[in-house]
């Protein structure tokens, strides 16, 4: 897709010419599960769309990825990963929070997070980040590439309710939200199943490979720049 080629060209230009320094160095922390996790870099492996934002950071800014495969909001907090982020946060930093793929697995007690608890966990995360003088940003979970007979994405396994719960908490708590679910859904429906599956690891309908991670990162960048969200200040124009 042309958007992927554009992403690669911009990345190369950034690496060659450098960028304008940000007024103050900032750190962007990533809190999420396997679709945001730090993975290997070749086309056959999973990749993180969050980490794919690195080439576009302003000078002095950094991304620290605490994404962990298989975690939900509940297990991420319980296992201490959330506390690690809080201990490292400085005023002016940002935290992208993206969970849902594992929260919705209600048949797995270690990660199951019913909607009411999911919303409370998200509220806690927003409050904790703000208490540190940093800024939370919610990102709804990306789609799984499961298509129906009509050639369009389905919500199997079910996840839309968790995405909608995140939208509601974001509105109630005045947290900036990037709707990765809707953007990835729109792109995958327009591309069709055959093309969209090239964005993911072979045989995988959930986890992006490098191609998909770069594409999804471009969606994020375009959205925050268009809406002029504060987090857009971390990135070169």
The pLDDT tens digits for 130-167 are: 999 999 999 999 999 999 999 999 987 789 999 999 99
Provide the percentage of residues in the chain whose pLDDT is more than 70: 87
List the single range of 16-20, 173-177, 186-190, 209-213 with lowest mean pLDDT. 16-20
Please answer whether residues 139 and 67 qualify as being in contact, where contact means their C-beta atoms are separated by less than 8 angstroms: no
Asked if residue 184 lies in contact with residue 222, where contact means CB atoms within 8 angstroms, the answer is: no
pLDDT of residue 22: 43
Distance CA 36, CA 52 (A): 10
Domains of the chain: 27-228 (3.40.50.1110)
Please check the confidence at residue 43 and state whether its pLDDT lies above 80.
Answer: no
Instruction: Answer positive or negative: Cα dihedral of 197, 178, 86, 21.
Output: positive
């Amino acid at each position: 897709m042309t958007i992927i080629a554009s992403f690669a060209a911009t990345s190369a230009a950034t690496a060659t010419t450098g960028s304008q320094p940000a007024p103050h160095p900032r750190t962007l922390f990533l809190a999420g599960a396997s679709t945001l996790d730090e993975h290997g870099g070749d086309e056959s492996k999973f990749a993180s769309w969050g980490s794919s934002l690195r080439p576009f950071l302003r000078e002095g800014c950094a991304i620290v990825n605490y994404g962990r495969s298989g975690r939900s909001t509940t297990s991420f907090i319980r296992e201490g990963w959330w506390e690690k982020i809080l201990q490292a946060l400085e005023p002016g930093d940002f935290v992208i929070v993206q969970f849902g793929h594992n929260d919705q697995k209600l048949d797995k007690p270690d990660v199951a997070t019913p909607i009411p608890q999911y919303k409370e966990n998200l509220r806690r995360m927003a409050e904790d980040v703000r208490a540190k003088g940093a800024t939370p940003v919610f990102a709804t979970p990306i789609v799984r590439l499961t298509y129906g007979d009509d050639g369009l994405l389905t919500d199997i396994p079910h996840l839309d309710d968790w995405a909608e719960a995140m939208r509601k908490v974001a509105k109630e708590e005045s947290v900036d939200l990037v709707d990765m679910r809707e953007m990835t859904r729109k792109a995958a429906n327009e591309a069709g199943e055959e093309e969209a599956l090239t964005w993911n690891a072979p045989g995988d309908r959930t986890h992006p490979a490098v191609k998909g991670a770069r594409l999804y990162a471009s969606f994020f960048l375009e959205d925050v720049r268009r809406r002029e969200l504060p987090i857009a200040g971390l990135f070169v124009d």
